[in-house]
Amino acid sequence: MGYLKVSKKKFGQTAILYSLTNDSGITMNVTDLGARIVDLIVPVNGKERNIVLGFDTEQEYHTKDMYFGATIGRVAGRIRNGSFSIDDENYQLPVSPENGHTLHGGEASFEAKIWDAKIEQSSDQVSVIFSYVSPDKENGFPGELNARVSYSLTNKNEWIIDYQAETDKATLYNPTNHVYFNLTGDVTQSIDAHELVVEADRFAVVNEDTTVTGELRSVSETPFDFRQSKTMKQVFETNYEQNSLVNGLDHPFILNHTGFVKPQAIITAPDKELSIEMYTDRPAVVIFTAQFEEGPEIRGKKLVHQGGITLETQVSPGAVEFDGFGDIVLYPETTYQSRTMYKIN
């Protein structure tokens, strides 16, 4: 048995920071504020590298960006006009005044809540299980939802995210995690030299406001073709209209396969010393390349434009509108379950 360790400390006025360390010396820090990952610190050639974007205090999340590393829910992505129907019953959610849509479950959603937390430990992994009860009509969503998200760090250098939920009334549920990776560990370096593989033949085309149009387009002969490893420059140094529209990537990729036998996506650091493999049972991954107009300061350094990349596993946005995009309705008689795993190599 190794020396898998877990400890906790205050992270601000209300939040707690949990620190998990495995036998390889990888440390993952997570917090009950938004059931989020804060740090993923990996030893590389004797030096520590923090490969995710995060802040040092609870307060910084509130003032800088609430989505960094957070659990997103009830529904990841945009719901056009905040409206949907389930079994012929119509629902209207609060919408953003900027664009008239509902983003990531609406304002002050999962990412802003303090989740209950408990620690579980075995010989080969240590876990923090976060739970939150979202009341009926919270942000306009029907049904009381019991949500659980567990983060496990294993001795195989895996970060496993397990989602579970039950509802007492038919509702929408499509959670994700909003982690940003930068495998250089230096937020002043763009991710343009990172290499990416995505096992996806199709991506969802987006409008100017990044809602999906309903078109699923082949990646062939476009900068979205990452079926062979390519650098991220491919999407930054192009005038292809879908990339120009969002200044990078902010798109769902429809995965060719799901499961845990082989990865659906791989990010490799520019120095080739480190890579992250993504495995999921979700049918899509939304990839966003952190093209902020003004990046926040992170751990004392200013985040550069396109200084991070997300791999947000989920059912593709547009599922409530378009056939062929998947189904995100959760009924009382079923338990929602999904898993995503990031393996550090």
For the stretch 108-143, pLDDT in tens is: 999 999 999 999 999 899 999 999 999 999 999 999
Residue 175 contacts residue 164 (beta carbons within 8 Å): no
Residue 265 contacts residue 285 (beta carbons within 8 Å): yes
DSSP string, 136-175: TTGGG--S-EEEEEEEEEETTSEEEEEEEEEESS-EE-B-
Residue 251 contacts residue 285 (beta carbons within 8 Å): no
**pTM, entire model:** 0.98
Catalytic residue among 178, 195, 199, 277: 178
Q: Which amino acid is at 282?
A: R
Give the pLDDT score at 2: 60
Other Cβ atoms less than 10 A from the Cβ of 98: the count is 8
Give the pLDDT score at 309: 98
DSSP string, 17-48: EEEEE-TT--EEEEETBTTEEEEEEEEETTEE
Domain boundary assignment for the chain: 5-344
CA-based nearest residue to 332, from 35, 86, 76: 86
Report the relative pairing of strands 16-21 and 297-298 from DSSP bridges. Answer: unpaired
Active site residue 178: yes
Phi and psi of 103, rounded to 5°?
-110, 130
Q: Which residues of the chain have pLDDT under 50?
A: 1
Domain made up of 5-344: CATH architecture: Distorted Sandwich (2.70)
